[in-house]
Amino acid sequence: MKATINNSLTHYIDIGISTAMPVILIHGFPFSHKMWMMPGGQTEALAGTYHVIAYDVRGHGESEVGDGMYSIEFFADDLIGLMDHLNIQQAVVLGLSMGGYIALRAIQKNPERFKALVLCNTRAEADSNESKIKRAGAIRAIKTNGPKIFAQEMVKNLFAPASLETKQSAVKLIESTIERTAPLSLCGTELALASRTDSTPSLSSIKVPTLVMTGELDITVPPDASKAMKDAIPNSEFFVIPKAAHLSNMENADEFNKHLVEFFQKIA
């Protein structure tokens, strides 16, 4: 399905039980809603019980690229705009990596729209100077070598070494998704991520049930960073997914889904 949200065409799927608790899934960078749709993945685990929406963030997947002038602020507004379009007043929002940045900014701006929050392989802090320099290097590499080589290099840091061998269908999906992402979107999103605000001061004001999960082998957002975020959010839960790195939902879906379903059962 597609809808015009904030003057940009947004692609999304809307599945499950329409009268049940809405759950919105926000992917990481530079992926698409398909990261949730692998066999045994999150849409399969949730659609029989909940109202599940997964969408492509502006510039990603099948959503419109536009002018490439992105910000986490705009992405957060797009989330609320999609909820308005679907007449969803309140939802559980699950964000992984960039999706977590979007969810954190959105709950700062519109806390009344959240029933619960799930933050996966993400952090609250803004980019460090070192991270900003790395993102500038990534932009140069994309402009010089194109998305294909960028994708080949990026997947090496996204998956645990064992996952690169045992989860090849997931690796191929992510690599091909990155390859197909427009260079304008890749570069524009890198700039958006580099310029995002620090959400740490707002963590203590989160009042909804919150689940934080991360992969034990994540080098992009080490578990200590996720644990620090959990410690700042009142009454939140925290789980480390074994045998997983940055894409814990794909690398160990069984464990990921187990904690997710148990959390949802408490709040439904």
Euclidean distance between CA atoms 51 and 86, whole angstroms: 11
Structure tokens at 198: 């620090």
Instruction: Give residue-wise pLDDT tens across range 50-66.
Output: 999 999 999 999 999 99
- Comparing CA positions, the residue from 38, 210, 182 lying closest to residue 116 is 210
pTM here? 0.97
- Comparing CA positions, the residue from 106, 122, 124 lying closest to residue 114 is 106
What residues pair up with 142 in beta bridges, in sequence order? none
Instruction: Give residue-wise pLDDT tens across range 178-220.
Output: 999 999 999 999 999 999 999 999 999 999 999 999 999 999 9
Question: Into which CATH architecture does domain 2-267 fall?
Answer: 3-Layer(aba) Sandwich (3.40)
End-to-end CA distance of the chain: 26
pLDDT band at 268; cut points 50, 70, 90: confident
Euclidean distance between CA atoms 168 and 259, whole angstroms: 24
Instruction: Give residue-wise pLDDT tens across range 111-139.
Output: 999 999 999 999 999 999 999 999 999 99
Euclidean distance between CA atoms 213 and 160, whole angstroms: 16
Per residue in 71-102, is it b (16+ CB within 10 Å) or e — as a string?
bbbbbbbbbbbbbeebebeebbbbbbbbbbbb
Euclidean distance between CA atoms 112 and 207, whole angstroms: 10
Q: Which residue has the tokens 């814990």?
A: 248
